[in-house]
Amino acid sequence: MDSTKSANSDPRPIPWLFDAATDLSMFVGSAAVALLLLAAGHQFQWLSGDTPDWLWIAAVLLIDVAHVYATGFRVYFDREERQRRPWLYLLTPLLAFVLGAAVHSEDARLFWRLLAYLAVFHFVRQQYGWVALYRAKAGEQTRAGRWLDTAAIYLATLYPLAHWHAALPREFHWFQEGDFVQLPAMIARLLQPFYWTALGLYAVRSVWRALVLHEHNPGKDLVVATTAICWYVGIVAMNSDYAFTVTNVIIHGVPYLVLVYRMQPTKPATDTLVPPRRFGIAAFLVIVWLLAFFEEFLWDNGVWQERSWLFGSFAGLNTLDWILVPLLAVPQVTHYILDGFIWKRRHHLDREGIIGR
Domain limits, the chain: 24-349
CA distance 241 to 38: 11
DSSP-based three-state secondary structure for 64: helix
At 356 the pLDDT is 53
CA distance 313 to 316: 9
Kindly report, residue by residue over 195-227, the tens digit of the pLDDT: 999 999 999 999 999 999 888 999 999 999 999
Kindly report, residue by residue over 287-325, the tens digit of the pLDDT: 999 999 999 999 999 999 999 999 998 877 877 888 999
Kindly report, residue by residue over 107-143, the tens digit of the pLDDT: 999 999 999 999 999 999 999 999 999 999 999 989 9
Helix extents (H) in the chain: 3-9, 20-24, 30-43, 53-55, 66-74, 79-84, 86-106, 108-138, 143-166, 185-211, 218-231, 241-263, 280-299, 308-311, 321-328, 330-342, 346-350
